[in-house]
Structure 1
C-alpha cells in the first residue's frame, strides 16, 4: 500500500477517534448535551474521512483537482434497476435477519421494531447525513479505486471491509450496549457485516462506478437501525446472513469469470 494511502487511512482513524472523544465526549460529560445534540455531533464526526481527504487533497491526490475527483466519483452511469436491487439486497439482509431471529426466539416480527425517539423525517435526515454522505467520499471515492486496482475483487473487498470496520473501534466501546463476552460476537459481526457491505458495493459499482450506489447501500443499512430493538443474537444471525451474501457474490464472480 502506498505511503500516501497509509497516511490517509491513519489520519482518518486519528481524526475520527479524536472527534468522538474530544467533541462528543466533552459535549456529553462536561456540558451534558441532550440526545438530539449528541446525534448531530456524532453525524459531524462521521465526516472525518471526507474532512481528511479534502484538507490533504493535494497530498493524497497530486495533480488532481477536487472538482475532477468528484466528477469521476459520480461520473458512472446509474441504472435504476441495479440501484433498486442494491437497496433491496441491503434492506432485505436486515429484514431476513429479524425474521429468522423471530423464529428462533419465538417472538412476533413486530416486537423487534420501534418508531424510535425521532419523527420519521428526522430519522431519515440523520441517517443520510451521517456515514452515507460523510464517509463515502473517502472510503469508496478514494480508497476503493486504489485497492481495486492493486488487488483482486475478493482481496480488495476484504481489505476495505477490515479497514472500514476497525475505523469504528472507538464506537464499540463508547456507543455500544454490549460488554464482556458479548463484545466478541459484536465485534466479529461488525467486521463480517462491513466486509459484506464492501462486497455488495464492489459488485454493483463494478459496472456502474458511481458513489450513488455506495451512498444508497450505506443509507439502507443504517436507516433500519433507527427502528430496531434487538439483542446480541441479532448480530450473530446478521453475520451468518452476510457470510452467505459474500459466498454468493464470490460464486457469481467465479461463474462470470468462466463465461
Structure 2
C-alpha cells in the first residue's frame, strides 16, 4: 500500500501553485522586455511562463495520484483515437467566428490593414509561437487534470464554469499589459471572462465527444491564433469573440446537452479510459 499522503483539495492546490509559479515568470518576462532583449528571447520566456500550469501539475502529481506514473497519465490523455468529424466541426465553427469578426472589424475605416501579419514566414512563426505556449502549455493542467477531476463531482457545465473562471483569473497580470485603464479596462476584463468561459464550455463539449487532449488544444490554438490575426480595436475584438463564442456555447448545450449539462465524468486515471454517465 502506498503510504504517500494524498492531497485533499487537488484542484485548489493546482490553481494556487500555478499562479505562484506564473507570477515570477511573468515578471521576469517584463524585466527582459524592459532591458531590451531580442524579441525571440522574450517569446521564449513568455512561452515558458505559459507552461506554469503544467509545471504545477507535474510537481503535485505524486500527491494527487500516489503510486501512478506522470508520463503514463500524459500518454493516456492522447490515447483515444481522434474523430475527424469532431475536429473538423470545431475548426469550422471557429473559422466562421473568425470570418464574422473579420467582417465586423473591416467596417471600421480607421484600420489601415485588416491583418496583423505581413508575410507567410511571419504567419508560420506566429502560429507555432502560439501553439508552443498557450495550447500545449496550458491544456494538460487545466483541461487534462482540473476539468476532468471536477467532472467526477459536478456536471461538465458546472466544472467548465469553475475552471473557466479560474483559468480566466490566471490571466489577470496580462490584463494590465494591454494599456487599457479605467472603464475600458473594466470592460475588457468582463468581456475577456465571458469569452474565455464560453470557450471553455465549447472545449468541454467537444472534448467529451472525443476524449483526446488534442481536441481542446486545437480549439485553444485557433482561438488565440485567429483573434491575434485581426488588426482592430482590442475591446471590439474581445467583444465580438465573447458574444460569438457565448452563442456557440449555448447552442452546443441545447443541441447536445448530455455532453455539457448532465452527468459526471467517470475517469479511470490508471488506464486513461473515460465514459460519460
TM-score under structure 1 normalisation?
0.89
The answer to whether the 8 Å contact 1:5/1:60 transfers is: no
Distance (whole Å) between structure 2 residues aligned to residue 97 and residue 160 of structure 1? 26
1:54, distance to aligned residue in structure 2 (A):
1.3
- 173, 191, 194: which one aligns with 1:192: 194
How many residues are treated as equivalent by the alignment?
253
1:226, distance to aligned residue in structure 2 (A):
3.8
Q: Deviations over 1:27-84 (max 9, x none)?
A: 123x321333212211111010011111222113223211221122112220112112
- 84, 89, 92: which one aligns with 1:88: 92
- 46, 52, 55: which one aligns with 1:51: 55
Give me the CA root mean square deviation: 2.4
Distance (whole Å) between structure 1 residues aligned to residue 241 and residue 136 of structure 2? 24
Indicate how the Cα distance of structure 1 residues 4 and 242 shifts in structure 2: closer, same or farther if over 3 A, else same.
same
Distance (whole Å) between structure 2 residues aligned to residue 90 and residue 60 of structure 1? 34
- 19, 22, 26: which one aligns with 1:16: 22
The answer to whether the 8 Å contact 1:112/1:230 transfers is: yes
- 154, 159, 164: which one aligns with 1:156: 159
The answer to whether the 8 Å contact 1:196/1:246 transfers is: yes
The answer to whether the 8 Å contact 1:91/1:221 transfers is: no
The answer to whether the 8 Å contact 2:105/2:114 transfers is: no
Counterpart position of 1:71: 75
The answer to whether the 8 Å contact 2:98/2:227 transfers is: no
TM-score under structure 2 normalisation?
0.83
1:1-259 correspondence to structure 2 within 5 Å: 2-21=8-27, 23-29=28-34, 31-103=35-107, 105=108, 111-115=113-117, 119-174=122-177, 176-231=178-233, 232-254=235-257
The answer to whether the 8 Å contact 1:78/1:208 transfers is: yes
Distance (whole Å) between structure 2 residues aligned to residue 209 and residue 254 of structure 1? 17
Distance (whole Å) between structure 2 residues aligned to residue 81 and residue 253 of structure 1? 15
Q: Deviations over 1:211-259 (max 9, x none)?
A: 000111111111124422111222222221122112112212348889x
Distance (whole Å) between structure 2 residues aligned to residue 33 and residue 214 of structure 1? 33
The answer to whether the 8 Å contact 1:98/1:234 transfers is: no
Distance (whole Å) between structure 1 residues aligned to residue 223 and residue 33 of structure 2? 27
Distance (whole Å) between structure 2 residues aligned to residue 71 and residue 115 of structure 1? 35
Q: Which has the higher helix share?
A: 1
1:107, distance to aligned residue in structure 2 (A):
7.4
Distance (whole Å) between structure 2 residues aligned to residue 76 and residue 235 of structure 1? 33
Structure 1 unaligned regions, length at least 5: none
Structure 2 unaligned regions, length at least 5: 1-6, 263-277
The answer to whether the 8 Å contact 1:116/1:226 transfers is: no
Indicate how the Cα distance of structure 1 residues 18 and 243 shifts in structure 2: closer, same or farther if over 3 A, else same.
same
